[in-house]
């Protein structure tokens, strides 16, 4: 009897303890499990989003290989809307801009380039977008806006596209000697990499500045 009484008392203490603390512990455990599975879900969701972005980007590339068109634009803009923070979206916007230029739609090209620069101005892709935007602005005759767009472009270790667009701005401003120096940088780097610098040589010739001789190089 005494043992039964003791057991009932222990059960009653356990019940009271559970009423007082058990619910909060259960909630804490539940939250802990939610946090654990939430973290795993987040990682899985991120991986799934990256995979989906890649798949949709590939679909866009396949469509874009056929040239500009409304269907291609819609496919690309769907990637921008669904995965705006991904590298695939930035690559898509750059290609949409190029297709818009090919389709003689400079306003659309500018919109896509500004989309990239607004999100990632100083990364490599952002700098490429700014360079293309500057060239577009130059084509529209807005030299100062182009200069502002590339105001803090790299000045050391330039590779050809960076040197070229900076030279284009300088040439448009009438600073021929500085422009010629940068065109030569671009020519040397394209030549070293096995590319064809003919279009840069034409720009340099248009300045009225002779190419350096082979001995001078």
pLDDT tens, position by position, 170-197: 999 999 999 999 999 999 988 988 889 9
Residue 153 three-state SS? coil
Q: Which residue has the higher pLDDT, 124 or 209?
A: 124
Summarised one tens digit per residue, pLDDT across range 81-90 is 988 888 888 9
More confident residue, 216 or 178: 178
Structure-model confidence comparison of residues 32 and 126, the more confident one: 126
- How large is the average pLDDT for residues 191-211? 87
| pLDDT score of 215 | 39
The Cα 20–Cα 78 span in angstroms is 53
| Mean pLDDT in residue range 43-62 | 69
Give me the pLDDT at residue 5, please: 58
The CATH code belonging to domain 8-153 is: 1.25.40.10
Nearest 10 degrees: Cα torsion 33, 52, 133, 129: 70
Q: What is d(CA 22, CA 3) in angstroms, rounded to the nearest whole number?
A: 26
pLDDT of 120 reads: 83
Domain boundaries, the chain: 8-153, 154-217
């Amino acid at each position: 009897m005494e043992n039964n009484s003791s057991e009932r008392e222990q059960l009653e203490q356990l019940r009271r303890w559970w009423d007082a603390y058990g619910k909060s512990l259960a909630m804490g455990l539940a939250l802990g499990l939610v946090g654990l599975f939430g973290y795993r879900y987040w990682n899985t969701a991120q991986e799934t989003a990256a995979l989906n972005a890649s798949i949709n980007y590939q679909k866009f590339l396949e469509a874009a290989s056929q040239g500009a068109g409304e269907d291609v634009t819609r496919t690309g803009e769907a990637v921008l809307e669904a995965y705006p923070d991904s590298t695939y979206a930035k690559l898509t916007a750059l290609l949409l801009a190029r297709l818009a230029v090919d389709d003689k739609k400079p306003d659309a090209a500018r919109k896509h380039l500004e989309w990239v620069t607004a999100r990632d101005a100083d990364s490599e892709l952002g700098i490429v977008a700014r360079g293309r935007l500057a060239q577009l602005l130059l084509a529209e005759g807005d030299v100062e806006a182009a200069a502002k767009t590339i105001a803090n472009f790299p000045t050391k270790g330039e590779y050809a596209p960076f040197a070229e667009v900076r030279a284009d701005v300088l040439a448009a401003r009438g600073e021929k000697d500085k422009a010629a120096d940068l065109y030569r940088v671009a020519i040397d780097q394209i030549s070293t990499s096995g590319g064809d610098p003919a279009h840069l040589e034409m720009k340099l010739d248009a300045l009225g500045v002779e190419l350096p001789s082979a001995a001078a190089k």
